[in-house]
Amino acid sequence: MRVIKNCCLLLVLTVILSASGCYHTPKPKEYITIGALLPLTGEFSDDGIRAFNGLQLAKSEINDNGGILGKYIDIIILDDQGDIEQIVKQYNILKEKGVSAIIGSCYSYVTDALAEAAAKDGIPVISPTASARDITIGRNNVFRAIFVDDYQADVIAYFARSSLNAETALVMRNTDHDNFGCLTEYFTEAFKNYGGRVTAVETYSSEKDFPGILEKYADNPPDIIFCPADFIPAANLVDAAYEAGLNDTVILGSDAWDGLLAYITNPEAMQNVYYASSFSFDDPDPVVAEFVRNYLNDFAQMPLAASAGTYVCVYILAEAIEKAGTTDAAGIISAMRENEFDMMTGRISFDENNNPRPNIYIIQIKDGEYSMREKIGSERGDGN
C-alpha cells in the first residue's frame, strides 16, 4: 500500500514539475514609437480627424502583420490645433518622449514651424499634405508624402489647357497667405507657358471680397478661375461665382480644396468645379480599393487626401526603419533618401530636397460626390 502511495506521490510531483517546466512568462511587447501632430480641434479639424483615422488604420495593419523589426508600432498623436505656437510646444513633448520620427502636420504654415524646430534636432519628419516648396529646403531630415506646389500648379495649368481647352484665366490671390500667393505665381507662369492668357490677377483679403470681384466679369467671363485657398473659402468662392452668373466658367482649385463639398450651399454650382488632390477614393487601382474598403468599414466615412496621406506616411516610415534595421534618426533618414517606396499614391522617391512626385488626381464634384476626372503622373513632363 505504501508503495502505491509513493508511486502516486511521485506521479503527482512529476506532473507538477512538468507543468512548471512548460510554463513560460509571456514576453512583453516591444514598441517603436512614432509621434504625430495634427489639427484635431479648431477650424481645420475635419482634415485632422481624417488624418488621425489614416494613422490608426496603417498602424493596425502593420501590427497585425507582425510589426517591424520584431516590434509593434505605437503612435503618440497630439493636437497642434493648426497653430504655430502650439505645434512647437507639442513637438517638444514628442521630443522628450524620444519618438523615432514624427508625422505632421496637415497645413504648410504650421508644418514649416515644425520643420524648423525639428531641423535643429535631426528628428525625421514627414508631412502627409503640406505642399509649400520651402518646407523641406535645407532641412535634411524633413520630408513630405505629397507633391510640391510648383509641380502641382504646373499640372493644374496643363489640365486646364489640354483637357478643358481653356484660353483665358482669372487668377485670385489671397494677400494674407504667402503659400497660396506662391501657388498663384506658379500657376500664372505655367498657364502662359502652355499657351494660355491670364486676363487678370485679382487680390482679396476676405471671402467677403468675392462677390464684388466676380461681378466685374459677369459680362465677359473668363474660361477658368483659379483660386488656391482652404476648403471653406473655396466653397464660398464657388457659391459667389454661381450667384454672379458665371455658370459656364470652370473654377479650379488646389489640394487644400479637399473637403469643400460639405460647405457648399448651392449644389448646382459644383458642375464646373475641379481641384488637384493627392488621392481619389474612386481610383480603380486594387490597392486603393482595398484601402477605401478597410477605411470605410472602420470609420464609416470615405477617406480623403488627409486620410491617405497619413496612411502612406506610416508605411513609408515603417519600410524605412525596416530597411535601415534601426530606429536611429540618421539611419531612417538615409533609408528614406536612398530608397523607392511603392505606395498606393504612386511610386515615391525623394529628390535632393526630399520632395516626391506622386500621382496628382484632378477631382470633380459629380452628382454630389467627389469623383476622379484624371490621374496625372510625373511621366507627363513639365511645361517649364
- The predicted-structure confidence for 72-116, as pLDDT tens digits, reads as follows 999 999 999 999 999 999 999 999 999 999 999 999 999 999 999
- In contact, 356 and 350? CB cutoff 8 Å: yes
Strands (E) across the chain are located at 31-38, 72-79, 102-104, 125-127, 142-144, 168-174, 197-204, 224-226, 250-253, 273-277, 341-343, 346-348, 360-366, 369-376
User: For residue 126, what are the β-bridge partners?
Assistant: 103, 143
State the sign of the Cα–Cα–Cα–Cα dihedral 259, 137, 76, 28: positive
Q: Amino acid letter at 79?
A: D
Average pLDDT over residues 116-122: 96
Q: Is pLDDT at 149 greater than 70 in this prediction?
A: yes
pLDDT at 88: 98
Q: Give the residue carrying C-alpha cell 481624417.
A: 50
Distances (CA, A) of 152 to 110, 164, 262, 364: 20, 17, 24, 16
Dihedral angle sign, alpha carbons of residues 46, 48, 54, 59: negative
pLDDT, position 18: 41
Query: For the CA atoms of 200, 205, 209, 210, what is the dihedral angle to 10 degrees?
Result: 60
Banded pLDDT at 291 (limits 50, 70, 90): very high
**Mean pLDDT, rounded, of the chain:** 90
Confidence of residue 24 (pLDDT cuts 50, 70, 90): low
305-324 vs 329-338: helix crossing angle, rounded to 10: 110
| pLDDT for residue 25 | 59
Structural contact between residues 23 and 260, judged by C-beta atoms closer than 8 angstroms: no
Residue 346's pLDDT is 87
Indicate whether 196 pLDDT > 50: yes
Look up the pTM and report it: 0.87
Q: Check residue 176 and give its pLDDT.
A: 81
Please compute, for residue 223, the number of CA atoms within 13 A of its CA located in the half-sphere on the CB side.
Answer: 14
pLDDT at 124: 98
Domains of the chain: 31-147+284-353 (3.40.50.2300), 150-277+363-380 (3.40.50.2300)
| Predicted local distance difference test score (pLDDT) of residue 379 | 65
Helix (H, G, I), strand (E, B) or coil at 101: coil
pLDDT band of 14, cuts 50, 70, 90: very low
Choice among 18-27, 77-86, 133-142, 157-166 with the minimum mean pLDDT: 18-27
| pLDDT score at 19 | 42
How would you label 201-228 residue by residue, b for 16+ Cβ within 10 Å and e otherwise?
ebebeebebbeebbeebeeebbbbbbbb
The reported pLDDT for the residue numbered 27 is: 63
Beta bridge partners of 75: 34
Average the pLDDT over each of 124-133, 256-265, 320-329 and give the range with the smallest value.
Answer: 256-265
Instruction: Using pLDDT thresholds of 50, 70 and 90, give the confidence band for residue 68.
Output: very high
pLDDT at 30 over 80: yes
Confidence band of 26 (pLDDT split at 50, 70, 90): low
pLDDT digits (tens, 9 = 90+) for 293-315: 999 999 999 999 999 999 999 99
Give the contacts of 22 (CB within 8 A, at least 6 positions apart): none
